[in-house]
Amino acid sequence: MSFRAVVAGCGAYLPERILTNNDLAKLVDTSDEWIRDRTGIRERHIAAEDQRTSDLAVEAARAAMKDAGVTAADIDLIVVATATPDLTFPATAAIVQSKLGVKQGAAFDLQAVCSGFVYALSTVEKFLACGQHKRALLIGAETFSRILDWTDRSTCVLFGDGAGAFVVEAVEEKVADERGVIASYLRCDGDLVDLLYVDGGVSSTGTAGHVRMQGNKVFREAVTRISEAMETVARQAGVAPTDIDWFVPHQANERIIQGVVRKLDLRPDQVISTISGQGNTSAASIPLAYCQGVADGRIKKGDLVMLEAMGGGITWGAALLRA
């Protein structure tokens, strides 16, 4: 029997505390105008001191489970896409499993930084399509505020904390009504590690480290690589990029998003953008934006939705799904 991986529900969580561009201008030599003009970001959310990545993940997961109408007993796979885990081990997914009271199935983390959610969706789709698991919780959750160098204006203004989650269900092909993940395409170019990385780790410094980025070099790579990934996925699915209903991009920079829109002849009103109020929440940005689109009534059942991301690695990729 073959199955399709259908998004049955989604959920979002943003920590209460908001850090505005003007707040940041008190910390480093920057301005609201520079940040808005160069990135599109106005403010971002920051986790409370006692909030861990798993806490954010659990809030988003609960909202997604409620949206899908499922309980802990229905989940048999938890994948957390994160670059900011609670602990070096076990996986944040294991901690989330316990906090949610899920007693069966498997749980693991997936690390592809900002591309983590696309990588994880592609992975989960395979687990469900082959019938190994029935219903997955797919969560993108990050506390990037913990690995920012708050004296480095070139990075600390860009990121925020948050979590987003999908409940993804294996639905028999013949009753899926063409809904679900249709195609995905993942890439990595490890020769570009130096463009975006964290300068610490277990086997190197023994510390968590801080984000380092050659932003303009990443920027130069972004539009071309992202557009190619989206074109590849569209080709695999037998559609044109312009056939999609909604474009849910990773939210790194409004100028990158608009560059992709122009390159692929999309309409600006097809974009679900959350960057202004959230900044770059890494692996959480796509499910957060998707949930926004669903919550405000833009993304409806049956719509064709393109997701894309690019991040440290350099990793990048795209996925096409029918909502």
Sole binder of ligand UT7 in the list 88, 174, 216, 296 (CB under 6 A): 216
Decide if residue 25 touches ligand UT7 (CB under 6 A): no
- In the beta sheet, which residues pair with residue 167? 9, 137
By the rule CB under 6 A, 114 interacts with ligand UT7: yes
Which residue in 222, 261, 299, 320 binds ligand UT7 (CB under 6 A)?
222
Give the nearest distance from C-beta 32 to ligand UT7 in angstroms.
Answer: 10
Among 82, 84, 227, 253, binds ligand UT7 (CB under 6 A): 253
8 Å CB contact between 281 and 159: yes
If one asks whether residue 102 binds ligand UT7 (CB under 6 A), the answer comes out as no
Stretch that binds ligand UT7, among 30-38, 54-62, 227-235, 265-273 (CB under 6 A): 30-38
107 vs 256, beta carbon nearer ligand UT7: 256
Q: Which of 90, 134, 200, 219 binds ligand UT7 (CB under 6 A)?
A: 219
Query: Is residue 230 a contact residue for ligand UT7 (CB under 6 A)?
Result: no
Residues in CB range of 115: below 8 A, 6 or more apart:
186, 250, 283, 309, 310, 311, 313, 315, 316, 317
Residue 194 to residues 190, 226, 281, Cα–Cα distance (Å): 9, 19, 20
Structure tokens at 318: 């795209």
Runs of H (alpha helix) within 26-101: 32-39, 53-68, 92-100
x/- mask, ligand UT7, residues 150-189, rule CB under 6 A, reads ---xx--xx-------------------------------
**Active site (catalytic) residues:** 114, 250, 280
Using CB under 6 A as the criterion, what x/- string covers residues 51-90 for binding ligand UT7? ----------------------------------------
Q: Does 21 bind ligand UT7 (CB under 6 A)?
A: no
| Cβ within 8 Å of residue 314, ≥6 positions away | 188, 189, 192, 193, 195, 196, 218, 221, 225
Give CA–CA dist 203/314, Å, rounded: 20
| Rounded CA Rg of the chain | 18
Q: Which of these ranges, 62-70, 137-145, 149-157, 270-278, lies near ligand UT7 under the rule CB under 6 A?
A: 149-157
Q: Extract the runs of DSSP E, i.e. beta strands, from the chain.
A: 3-13, 17-20, 43-46, 77-81, 106-110, 135-142, 162-172, 180-188, 196-198, 211-213, 246-249, 304-311, 315-322
Residue 157: CB minimum distance to ligand UT7, A: 4
Indicate whether 280 belongs to the interface with ligand UT7 (CB under 6 A).
Answer: yes
Query: Which of 9/160 has CB closer to ligand UT7?
Result: 160
Question: Is residue 36 at the binding interface for ligand UT7, with CB under 6 A as the rule?
Answer: no
Name the residue nearer to ligand UT7 (CB basis): 173 or 194.
Answer: 194
Under a CB-based contact definition with an 8 Å cutoff, are residues 287 and 13 in contact? no
Those residues with Cβ within 8 angstroms of residue 50's Cβ, 6 or more apart along the chain or in another chain: none
The label of the residue with tokens 């056939």 reads: 243
Q: Is 30 in the site for ligand UT7 (CB under 6 A)?
A: yes
Q: Is the dihedral of CA 309, 311, 317, 322 positive or negative?
A: negative
Does 310 bind ligand UT7 (CB under 6 A)? Our answer is yes
Q: What region, left, alpha or beta, does residue 238 occupy, with left being phi > 0 and alpha being psi -120 to 50 degrees?
A: left
DSSP structural state of residue 273: -
Q: Are 65 and 137 in contact (CB under 8 A)?
A: yes
Using CB under 6 A as the binding criterion, the count of chain residues that bind ligand UT7 stands at 21
Of residues 157 and 168, the one with the C-beta less far from ligand UT7: 157
Residues that bind ligand UT7 (CB under 6 A): 30, 34-35, 38-39, 114, 153-154, 157-158, 215-216, 218-219, 222, 252-253, 256, 280, 310-311
